[in-house]
Amino acid sequence: RRFDFRPKTDPYCQARYTFCPTGSAIPLMKEEDVIEVYRLQAPVWEFKYGDLLGHLKIMHDAVGFKSTLTGKNYTMEWYELFQLGNCTFPHLRPGMDAPFWCNQGAACFYEGIDDAHWKANGTLVLVTTISGTMFNEMAQWVKYDNETGIYYETWTVQASPDKKSTVWFDSYECSKFILRTYQKLADLGAVFKKIQTNYTSIILFSGEPIYLGNETSIFGPQGNKTLAAAIRDFYNPFKPHQSVREFFVDLFKIIDHVILNHQFYLFYNLEYWFLPMKSPYLKIIYEEVPLPVGSKASSDV
């Protein structure tokens, strides 16, 4: 779903790590430039934990560019403004009935490619070359995409592990932005190399979701107090933990909700849904998504 504008961030929402600290505007390239496009992938939080999450195939994706006219490198990625936890679960604030969400994602563009970061435990590989004209058209699309696709969504929700199963909800995170970027470049005429490309997905397994309503209809003056209490009770164990004991108590509550009682409350595009969970409940997959083949006919913004 696309939105008309990006809302202002609330001062309550604070990130432990600053979003896009060295970000810059996307430059205008000369039409005759030839620009190399690189696939970049590394374990999530590689800067802090090295390849630890890489063993679980929890990867972060980005795209790199190199201008052959200037020799300058650039990195473009899409990630959470307030870190993953805040995008995935809300805060339960005193005096507020509705869960409070610190959830936005956005594109970040900056000069340079940190070769060591991407090569050490991940991937840095050339996937195509494009003209300066194509790069500039892509930049216009990035602006549109960034202004209208604003919420980060961690979960993919499927009916079963079968590859052809119904996808109830699709995730909207870093890899999806890279896939959209590749597709835009293909539609503009880029020809991609024949190489294998894999991406991480975190999947919940559920029967057909049940629509519950939005914040006003559930938590407002005329809302459903029983449902509001159930949603708050569900999200409470996901709060940041102060002690090991508190963590294990809340972990048991999560297992009780999700696995023993088959319950999950999903907040997606500003609406709440009930997921009747089923085995295997959650799975992290690292599956191949081929590089795209484009069509000039579908290159509209």
| Residues near 19 by beta carbon (within 8 Å), at least 6 away in sequence | 79, 80, 81, 82, 106, 108
155: which strand partners? 202
Annotation marks residue 20 as catalytic: no
Of the candidates 20, 60, 91, 102, the residue annotated as catalytic is 60
Annotation marks residue 174 as catalytic: yes
Q: Other C-beta atoms within 10 Å of 277: how many?
A: 21
| Residues near 227 by beta carbon (within 8 Å), at least 6 away in sequence | 212, 213, 218
Q: Two tokens at 251? A: 């972990």
Distance CA 73, CA 51 (A): 24
Rg from Cα positions in the chain:
21
Of the candidates 87, 102, 108, 174, the residue annotated as catalytic is 174
Distance CA 241, CA 257 (A): 18
62: which strand partners? 40, 77
To 5 degrees, how large is the angle CA 234–CA 238–CA 243? 130
| Residues near 206 by beta carbon (within 8 Å), at least 6 away in sequence | 157, 158, 159, 168, 264, 275, 276, 277, 278
| Residues near 133 by beta carbon (within 8 Å), at least 6 away in sequence | 29, 31
Among 258, 156, 146, which residue's Cα sits nearest to residue 200? 156
User: Hey, which residues are catalytic here?
Assistant: 60, 174
